[in-house]
Chains A and B, each alone.
Chain A
Amino acid sequence: MIARVIILTGFILLYGFLFSAQEQKALVRDVTLDIALPVNFHKITSGYLKQLTAEMLFIQTSVFLGGVRPGTPPESYAEALGNNFEVMTSLYPRFIDPYYVCQGFLPHISQEAAAKANTILETGIAALPDDLILRFFHGSNFFLAMNEPLKGAKAFSEAAKLTNAPPLFGHLAALLSAQGGDIAAGLISLKIMLAGEKDEVVRARYQQEIVIFEQAIEVSKALEAYTNKHGVAPESLDQLVPAFIPQLPEIKDLFTLNYTPPTLTLQRPDKKKLSQQH
């Protein structure tokens, strides 16, 4: 009897020792995010619980993001993160939380991750077309994370057509068009914005920008004439003076005129660089 008790106690102590070792291992192990199974699998197996499955996946992903060890390269979990957000939003497109968390973590990792984030946001926009925040995330990712200002301009231009859209969307569409090289489209957007604006201060700003856009379009026309005559775009804008344009406009403060043959763009000056220069 005593021998049995001793053996049992030994087993319990051994179990406790192994358990502590296992726990210690679990503590030092990096938290990982498992790639969720395809959305169709979840749809078939969860049935009525489809929405809850999406929400549980969201919680699992959020908990992972909250527990990532400092210093972990985001590229190591970007693929799983993108996949899981895609699965949960496809399962339940009207559930809003995944879009916010996705926007907070995914686009900043890489251009590919930003493109994935925008695919996910497009699911949200299709389900909730009047949601202005999703539109803003979608449009801003194009120019902030993907270097695709023209796509951003298109996204903001679509969003600006919504009844409750703020003037910011139309303005961003104009600025991004110019930044992407489509200055004429930007000018049209600005003129539409001016026609609909009542605030005198904002109107004055639009007018100031329209003048700059018109000056840039003159340069663009001169570039076109040069290219037609010589069969090739000039290496610098100075080559346009005086045969194609009397003088180059002085564009500064609000915008800078950038020329990378053969594309002419208008860009907002980088405020960080300016403050460093000062």
Chain B
Amino acid sequence: MLNQIRRILALARLIILDGLRRHALIGLVLFAFAGTTGGLLFFDFIPRDIGRASNDFIFSIIWLTGFIFLLFHAVQVMAWDNDRGALHTYLARPISRTEYALALYAGLAALLLALNIILGTLGWAVLTFIKGSVAAVYFQHLSLPFFLLAGTGLFWMQLVILAVILLFSSAVRGSFPVLLLTLCYYFICSGLPVVREALNKKLVEGSKQSLDALLKWLTAIFPDFSWLDFKTLAASSDQTPVAAQLTLPFALSTLYIVIVMWLACIIYERRDLQ
């Protein structure tokens, strides 16, 4: 077991170093830097609710950066790219396919965490600066614990998407199909709650139950990411959620990641590499 963990960590380290060497990643960080500091201009367009809007802007930039990372870096690294032959090379070493998949996930998750920490720190600095430069009435609340909670929620969402990318990569060859599938998955996840809300308003009682049940279980497959969206709490006096409201989404999404990863590992083990 210890040896397996060592092998996973060693490969994860390679993935991290490979990621850090890429100029595209450095470009992404610079883009995010520019975007985050853009918050200083953005708040100028908001007359009253400056705290709320600036906070949303910062988290949106961090989310967008993470999304670009997932779609254009993680997908490429994970996809079974025959030209690169990376997977074949790794598997020539004494490492199992499951270990390969777990290492890939761990390495990319570590890179994502680093990205979030860098941007989160910069975002916090920008928010503190904005708060100090406007009258208190326009930026009343800024809470570090809720900022960290919002950041953790965002990171967890990214981990779920990363796990799904791993699953798609295990089953589909080529980075472009994986990218398209991931985008479809994301839009279904964000669209399903809207469909449920709209149908709840329109449907008559009789036909409601079966369709409701179907949509409910579809949401189990395509989760509602808004459960992990706590960004509005960081800079507003919105009602604080109770402990169950906080722990349940994290526990649920952690289990989701485990199940998806498990499936991905099973497919990796059985997939023909030729």
CB-based contact B53/A40 at 8 Å = no
CB-based contact A94/B52 at 8 Å = yes
Q: Kindly list chain A residues whose C-beta atoms are within 8 Å of the C-beta of B154.
A: 48
The one of B189, B190, B225, B231 in contact with A51, judged by C-beta atoms closer than 8 angstroms, is B231
Assembled-state Cα–Cα distance A40/B199 (Å): 12
Q: Kindly list chain A residues whose C-beta atoms are within 8 Å of the C-beta of B60.
A: 48-49, 51-52
Residue A242, interface by CB 8 Å: no
| CB-CB nearest in chain B for A62 | B45
Bitwise, A40-58 to B at CB < 8 A (1) or not (0) is: 1001111111011001001
Chain B residues 53 to 67 lying within 8 A of chain A, measured CB to CB, are 53, 56-57, 59-60, 63-64
Given known A52-B56, A55-B57, A94-B236, contact A45–B187 (CB-CB < 8 A):
yes
Residue B238, interface by CB 8 Å: yes
CB-based contact A55/B194 at 8 Å = no
* Interface stretch of the complex, out of A23-31, A95-103, A105-113, A219-227: A95-103
CB-based contact B45/A44 at 8 Å = no
Assembled-state Cα–Cα distance A65/B62 (Å): 31
Residue B49, interface by CB 8 Å: yes
Q: Kindly list chain B residues whose C-beta atoms are within 8 Å of the C-beta of A62.
A: 45, 47
CB-based contact A51/B232 at 8 Å = yes
Q: Kindly list chain B residues whose C-beta atoms are within 8 Å of the C-beta of A47.
A: 186-187, 189-190, 225
Q: Kindly list chain B residues whose C-beta atoms are within 8 Å of the C-beta of A12.
A: none
Q: Which of B64, B186, B190 has the most CB of A within 10 A?
A: B190
Bitwise, B36-59 to A at CB < 8 A (1) or not (0) is: 000000000111110011001101
Assembled-state Cα–Cα distance A51/B61 (Å): 12
CB-based contact B56/A97 at 8 Å = no
The one of B46, B186, B190, B198 in contact with A97, judged by C-beta atoms closer than 8 angstroms, is B46
Q: Kindly list chain B residues whose C-beta atoms are within 8 Å of the C-beta of A55.
A: 46, 53, 56-57
Assembled-state Cα–Cα distance A58/B191 (Å): 23
Bitwise, B236-259 to A at CB < 8 A (1) or not (0) is: 101000000000000000000000
| CB-CB nearest in chain A for B50 | A97
Assembled-state Cα–Cα distance A95/B236 (Å): 10
Assembled-state Cα–Cα distance A5/B157 (Å): 55
Q: Kindly list chain A residues whose C-beta atoms are within 8 Å of the C-beta of B225.
A: 47-48
Assembled-state Cα–Cα distance A51/B49 (Å): 12
Q: Kindly list chain B residues whose C-beta atoms are within 8 Å of the C-beta of A40.
A: 194, 198
Q: Count of chain B residues with Cβ under 8 Å from any Cβ of A? A: 29
Chain B residues 3 to 27 lying within 8 A of chain A, measured CB to CB, are none
Chain A residues 161 to 186 lying within 8 A of chain B, measured CB to CB, are none
CB-based contact A43/B190 at 8 Å = yes
Chain B residues 62 to 80 lying within 8 A of chain A, measured CB to CB, are 63-64
Residue A248, interface by CB 8 Å: no
| CB-CB nearest in chain B for A94 | B238
Assembled-state Cα–Cα distance A40/B201 (Å): 13
CB-based contact B48/A96 at 8 Å = yes
Residue A59, interface by CB 8 Å: yes
Given known A40-B194, A44-B190, contact A100–B57 (CB-CB < 8 A):
no
Q: Which of A55, A59, A94 has the most CB of B within 10 A?
A: A55
Q: Kindly list chain B residues whose C-beta atoms are within 8 Å of the C-beta of A45.
A: 187, 190
The one of B47, B63, B194 in contact with A49, judged by C-beta atoms closer than 8 angstroms, is B63
The one of B56, B157, B191, B232 in contact with A44, judged by C-beta atoms closer than 8 angstroms, is B191
CB distance from A46 to the nearest CB of B (A): 8
| CB-CB nearest in chain A for B157 | A48
Assembled-state Cα–Cα distance A214/B231 (Å): 55
Assembled-state Cα–Cα distance A49/B62 (Å): 10
CB distance from B30 to the nearest CB of A (A): 21
CB-based contact B63/A97 at 8 Å = no
Chain A residues 227 to 273 lying within 8 A of chain B, measured CB to CB, are none
CB-based contact B47/A97 at 8 Å = yes
| CB-CB nearest in chain B for A60 | B45
CB distance from B70 to the nearest CB of A (A): 12
Assembled-state Cα–Cα distance A66/B6 (Å): 62
Assembled-state Cα–Cα distance A234/B260 (Å): 80
Assembled-state Cα–Cα distance A132/B198 (Å): 30
| CB-CB nearest in chain B for A95 | B49
Assembled-state Cα–Cα distance A52/B46 (Å): 12
CB-based contact B56/A43 at 8 Å = no
CB distance from B8 to the nearest CB of A (A): 30
CB-based contact B46/A44 at 8 Å = no
Assembled-state Cα–Cα distance A45/B188 (Å): 10
Q: Which A residues contact B (CB, under 8 angstroms)?
A: 40, 43-49, 51-52, 55, 58-59, 62-63, 94-97, 100-101
Query: A-B pairs with the 7 shortest C-beta distances?
Result: A47-B190, A44-B191, A52-B60, A51-B56, A59-B45, A43-B194, A96-B49
Apart from A49-B64, A55-B46, what 13 extra A-B contacts exist at CB < 8 Å?
A40-B194, A44-B187, A47-B186, A48-B60, A48-B157, A48-B229, A49-B63, A52-B57, A59-B46, A94-B52, A96-B49, A97-B49, A101-B47
9 sample A-B contacts, Cβ–Cβ < 8 Å, listed by A number: A43-B193, A44-B190, A47-B186, A47-B189, A48-B229, A51-B232, A55-B46, A62-B45, A97-B48
